[in-house]
């Protein structure tokens, strides 16, 4: 009886795993076993209209993040015609541009993509804080998913690794694409 019960439990677990996919992050640099990564169910994003606001500053990184985000949304069934990508000069301009798009009421969600790399002055801290607060406030003011896709890195190598540039690391834009679809579906489920 115990052996049969174990087989049933194992079969149920395998069935659940078949409905999920694991989105792996880059390997942990100290080679320790990691628990990072998302267990993702299958999302049906058909019919969702999603905007991306991406900074042109650090364009190689932001371009890769944007493409990863678009690819993930398409993998969830979001039609390419329902994805709008707008560009702004830098990360500081992102909250305003996202607000403009939210004001149109045409989008179920917005993904904000930028990359801040620390320099020798306090500029990084000021911009990072302003952008973070701006994006958080948009979520609350518009009751719409506004995904925080702003990398805050200490150097260019970290930025490239988090954007999957030149085959390094994991493209975080993929995570943000899945996150915006999941968040939009949550809103549609509970708020009509």
Name which residue leads in pLDDT, 49 or 168: 49
Q: What is the pLDDT of residue 14?
A: 54
pLDDT at 31 over 90: no
Section 45-67 average pLDDT: 96
| pLDDT band of 169, cuts 50, 70, 90 | confident
pLDDT at 67 over 90: yes
DSSP string of 114-175?
A: EEEE--SSTHHHHHHHHHHHHHHHHHHHHTS-EEEEEEEESSHHHHHHHHTGGG-S-BHHHH
Q: What is the pLDDT of residue 8?
A: 52
Average pLDDT for the chain: 86
DSSP letter, residue 47? T
Q: What is the pLDDT of residue 4?
A: 58
Give one word for 169, left, alpha or beta, with left for phi > 0 and alpha for psi -120 to 50. Answer: left
Residue 101 has which token pair? 């798009």
What are the pLDDT digits (tens) for 95-150?
Answer: 999 999 999 999 999 999 999 999 888 888 999 999 999 999 999 999 999 999 99
Q: What is the pLDDT of residue 28?
A: 47
pLDDT at 7 over 90: no
Instruction: Name which of 18, 54, 49, 72 is nearest 185 in CA terms.
Output: 49
Which residues form the catalytic set?
A: 123
Calculate what percentage of the chain has a pLDDT beyond 70. 80
Q: What is the pLDDT of residue 25?
A: 52
Q: What is the pLDDT of residue 113?
A: 98
């Amino acid at each position: 009886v115990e052996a049969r019960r174990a087989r049933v439990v194992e079969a149920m677990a395998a069935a659940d795993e078949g409905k999920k996919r694991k989105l792996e992050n880059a390997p942990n640099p100290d080679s320790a076993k990691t628990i990072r990564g998302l267990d993702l169910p299958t999302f049906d994003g058909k019919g969702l209209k999603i905007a991306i606001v991406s900074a042109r500053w650090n364009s190689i990184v932001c371009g890769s993040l944007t493409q990863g985000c678009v690819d993930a949304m398409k993998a969830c069934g979001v039609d390419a015609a329902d994805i709008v990508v707008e560009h702004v000069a830098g990360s500081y301009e992102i909250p305003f541009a996202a607000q403009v798009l939210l004001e149109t009421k045409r989008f179920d969600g917005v993904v904000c993509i930028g990359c801040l790399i620390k320099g020798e002055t306090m500029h990084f801290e000021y911009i990072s804080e302003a952008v973070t607060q701006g994006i958080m406030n948009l979520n609350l003011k518009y009751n719409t998913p506004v995904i925080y896709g702003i990398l805050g890195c200490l150097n260019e190598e970290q930025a490239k690794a988090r954007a999957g540039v030149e085959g390094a690391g994991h493209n975080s834009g993929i995570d943000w694409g899945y996150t915006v679809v999941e968040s939009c579906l949550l809103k549609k489920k509970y708020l009509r």
